[in-house]
């Protein structure tokens, strides 16, 4: 029997999951919105962050939360190197070329992880974070609350960075009109590099959170990338607050699918949603018309 409490429980955990989804897809959405590159290696950057945290935890017992900066930095470095060595050279060619290129980089990284960390599924949970807290019969773990706070902080941090800081404004101007930005003295090539690296950093933050809440494995990246792309399209390209809404829609939808239908069909919800947006509103919920 499905009780009212279990519905509320699944709604809430869906929303919590959704906030984290928006963090997982933030890097991809940001890079797509600014640099107009769909980074298919996004999920692999995220998984890299997760493995860094895993390593720190296993080797030195570092709490995954403390590992966040290093995880982000390493994923940022990976993004920086990918851009400098490969992407920069075909930046001006067709969109499909960058798609294939980042896909290749993703395959490279996923198999590198396989070689380095084997195919085992890793969880980097810490005991005290898995303690459940109960409010009126609804259970939330400490870790869930913490990760939501972190996700919200990062999303709003990025939002304020883009709207308040000089670099952020330069990035936005470049996204709106490249030529005008260049005329105004903005080094647009540099903006691309910076934006792509930030995309990597953002992905890297998601990794340890994913590892704490669920698990990471070498092949997990592509899955994340697909989900991130679905959310980016749902939110509308270029809308960062929209990502939070989109994330929650996906999270709640998946949670309800699990409660009412079957846990194994949870992944189908995202895809059904994706097809529905493509057909009904390709510009996304908050995006400009394509």
Partner 1 sequence: MGNLTRAFVSERTAGCIVTGFVLALPFLLSFNPYYTSVFVSALILGAVAIAWNLLAGVCGQVSFGHAAFFGIGAYTSAVLVTKWGFSPYLGLVAGGVFGGLGSLIIGIPAFRLRGPYFALAILGFAEVMKLLALNLTWLTEGSLGIMNIAPLPPLEVGSLKIDFYASRTTNYYVVALLMFAVYLVVYFLRRSNLGLAMSAVHGDDETAAGIGVNVFRTKAIALTVSATCTGVMGAFYAHYVRFLSPDTAFDGYWSVMPIVASLFGGMSALIGPMAGALVITGLDEFVFKRFFETGHKLFFGLLLAVVIVWAPTGLLGNRVGKRSEGDKR
**CB neighbours (10 Å) of residue 237?**
19
Dihedral over alpha carbons 210, 213, 214, 216 (to 10 degrees): 30
**CB neighbours (10 Å) of residue 1?**
3
Tell whether residue 222 is a contact of partner 1 (CB under 8 A). Answer: yes
Task: List the x/- string, 57-86, binding to partner 1 by CB under 8 A.
Answer: -----------------------------x
Check: CB of residue 24 under 8 Å from CB of residue 227.
Answer: yes
Residue in this structure with the two tokens 């057909």, named with its chain if needed:
279
Task: List the x/- string, 168-207, binding to partner 1 by CB under 8 A.
Answer: ----------------------------------------
Q: How far is the CB of 108 from partner 1 (least distance, A)?
A: 3
Between 103 and 161, name the residue whose CB sits nearer to partner 1. 103
- Cβ neighbours for 278, distance < 8 A, ≥ 6 positions apart: 233
Only one of the segments 60-68, 188-196, 209-217, 269-277 lies at the binding site for partner 1 (rule: CB under 8 A); that segment is 269-277
Q: What span, in angstroms and rounded, lies between the C-alpha atoms of 9 and 48?
A: 31
State the angle between helix axes of 266-280 and 220-235 in degrees (0 to 180), rounded to the nearest 10.
40
Tell whether residue 119 is a contact of partner 1 (CB under 8 A). Answer: yes
- By CB under 8 A, the residues from 87 to 106 that bind partner 1 are 89-90, 92-97, 99-101, 103-106
Check: CB of residue 204 under 8 Å from CB of residue 50.
Answer: no
Cα–chain center distance at 220: 12
Q: How far is the CB of 8 from partner 1 (least distance, A)?
A: 27
Only one of the segments 32-40, 163-171, 194-202, 251-259 lies at the binding site for partner 1 (rule: CB under 8 A); that segment is 32-40
Between 41 and 240, name the residue whose CB sits nearer to partner 1. 41
Q: What span, in angstroms and rounded, lies between the C-alpha atoms of 117 and 198?
A: 26
Q: How far is the CB of 75 from partner 1 (least distance, A)?
A: 17
Tell whether residue 261 is a contact of partner 1 (CB under 8 A). Answer: no
What six digits make up the tokens of 110? Answer: 């996923």
Tell whether residue 157 is a contact of partner 1 (CB under 8 A). Answer: no
**CB neighbours (10 Å) of residue 15?**
16
Binding stretches for partner 1 (CB under 8 A): 36, 38, 40, 86, 89-90, 92-97, 99-101, 103-116, 118-119, 222-223, 226, 229-230, 233, 262, 264-265, 267-268, 270-271, 274-275, 278-279, 282, 290
């Amino acid at each position: 029997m499905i009780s009212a409490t279990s519905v509320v429980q699944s709604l809430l955990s869906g929303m919590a999951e959704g906030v984290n989804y928006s963090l997982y897809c933030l890097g991809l959405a940001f890079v797509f919105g600014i640099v107009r590159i769909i980074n298919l290696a996004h999920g692999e950057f995220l998984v890299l962050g997760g493995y860094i945290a895993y390593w720190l935890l296993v080797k030195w017992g570092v709490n995954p939360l403390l590992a966040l900066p290093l995880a982000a930095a390493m994923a940022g470095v990976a993004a920086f190197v990918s851009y400098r060595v490969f992407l920069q050279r075909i930046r001006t060619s067709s969109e499909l070329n960058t798609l294939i290129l980042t896909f290749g980089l993703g395959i490279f990284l996923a198999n590198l992880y396989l070689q380095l960390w084997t195919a085992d599924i890793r969880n980097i949970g810490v005991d005290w974070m898995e303690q459940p807290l109960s409010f009126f019969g609804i259970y939330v773990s400490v870790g869930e609350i913490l990760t939501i706070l972190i996700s919200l902080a990062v999303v709003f941090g990025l939002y304020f960075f883009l709207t308040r800081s000089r670099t952020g404004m330069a990035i936005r101007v470049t996204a709106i009109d490249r030529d005008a930005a260049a005329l105004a003295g903005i080094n647009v090539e540099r903006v691309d590099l910076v934006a792509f690296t930030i995309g990597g950093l953002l992905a890297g933050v998601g990794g340890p959170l994913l590892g704490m809440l669920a698990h990471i494995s070498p092949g997990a990246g592509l899955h994340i990338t697909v989900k991130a792309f679905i959310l980016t399209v749902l939110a509308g390209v270029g809308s960062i607050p929209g990502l939070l809404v989109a994330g929650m829609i996906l999270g709640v939808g998946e949670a309800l699918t699990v409660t009412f239908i079957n846990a194994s069909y949870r992944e189908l919800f995202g895809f059904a949603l994706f097809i529905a947006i493509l057909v009904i509103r390709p510009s996304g919920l908050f995006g400009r018309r394509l």
